[in-house]
Amino acid sequence: MSHETATYPIDPVNRVKRLHERGAYDHATVHAILDAAALAHTSYVLDGQPYCTPTLFWREGTRLYWHGSSASRMLRHQAGGVPVCVTVSHLDSLVLARCGFNHSVDYRAVMAFGHAHQVTDLEEKERALTMMVDRFYPQRTATLRPTSRQEFKATAVMVMDIERASAKTRSKGLADDPEDQDLPIYAERIPVMTVLGQPEPCARLSPEVVRPATLAPYQAGERLDVALAAAHRLAYS
């Protein structure tokens, strides 16, 4: 099975139940939605109570990584191989239809299911901490002040093999019922995008320190999802 046609298994946990024409399970679709995001919402259960924590994450193959403080309640709990759902979503438009029922949004979302583990192998953790920076800013770690032993210890890295995943996408914009389309009611689609502002260099930079060429995807006005996907391709090429 080629990389392009590989799919995540489908079962009652991840099968898209509602509006299933919007669902997809293939690696290419799932990974494209993941790689266009910096922020995921990781969900886990502690004493029967669900928690949903926003966190920076990244994908490597069919694994997801995220990190946090070694002292974090969430990460200490997740370390033991508990079931986790990692969800990523992009809001692409607001849809103002001619009736309330057809009001909607365009979006791309992935729910990924697996069991989280803490990365304890020191070499794997070191590599993960490098990619935690370089996945977003290719080759940046080599230019930085090296991580101290104390910083290394204070950071926990979590990893989850994606056991199941589903992508759900809506991109059709306005979709009024045919019999509503000639009603004299205003209807529109409003695109929504997350973009970068003008980068603000540190005020204390020495004059000889210039912006690295590897940050080229991160320009004012660029879409964040496009820049993140480009950086991911560069980092893992």
Q: Which of residues 70-129 bind a second copy (CB under 8 A)?
A: 71-73, 83-87, 89, 91, 93-94, 96-101, 103, 105, 107, 109, 111, 113, 129
- Identify the residue among 2, 5, 206, 237 touching a second copy (CB under 8 A): 206
Residue 133: CB minimum distance to a second copy, A:
5
Q: Is 188 in the site for a second copy (CB under 8 A)?
A: yes
Q: Give the residue with the Cβ less far from a second copy, 4 or 179.
A: 179
Of residues 2 through 21, those in contact with a second copy by CB under 8 A are 13, 17-19
Residues 6+ away with beta carbon under 8 Å from 106:
91, 92, 93, 95, 170, 171, 172, 173, 189
Q: Rule CB under 8 A: is residue 194 a binding residue for a second copy? A: yes
Instruction: Using CB under 8 A, pick the residue from 133, 165, 167, 235 that binds a second copy.
Output: 133
Query: Judged by CB, which is closer to a second copy: 6, or 109?
Result: 109
Give the residue with the Cβ less far from a second copy, 61 or 209: 209
Closest CA to 166 of 109, 104, 91: 109
In whole angstroms, how close is the CB of 7 to a second copy at the nearest point?
Answer: 20
CB-nearer residue toward a second copy: 5 or 148: 148
Tell which one of 64, 66, 155, 158 touches a second copy (CB under 8 A).
155
State the minimum distance, in angstroms, from the CB of residue 102 to a second copy: 9
Measuring CA to CA, which residue among 112, 104, 105, 114 is closest to residue 41?
112
Which DSSP helix (H) or strand (E) runs through 109? strand 104-118
Residue closest to 181 by CA, chosen among 92, 102, 93: 102
Distance CA 56, CA 62 (A): 17
| d(C-alpha 15, C-alpha 21), whole Å | 11
Query: Does residue 178 interact with a second copy by CB under 8 A?
Result: no
Which residues in 216-235 contact a second copy (CB under 8 A)? 218, 224
53 lies in the site for a second copy, by CB under 8 A: yes
Closest residue by Cα to residue 140 from 38, 64, 211: 211
Q: Two tokens at 70?
A: 């070694």
Sign of CA dihedral 51, 52, 56, 59: positive
Q: Show the CA angle centred on residue 146, arms to residues 144 and 151, nearest 5°.
A: 120
Q: Binding of a second copy at residue 54 (CB under 8 A)?
A: yes
Looking at 48, 123, 149, 237, which residue binds a second copy (CB under 8 A)?
48
Q: Count of residues binding a second copy (CB under 8 A)?
A: 99
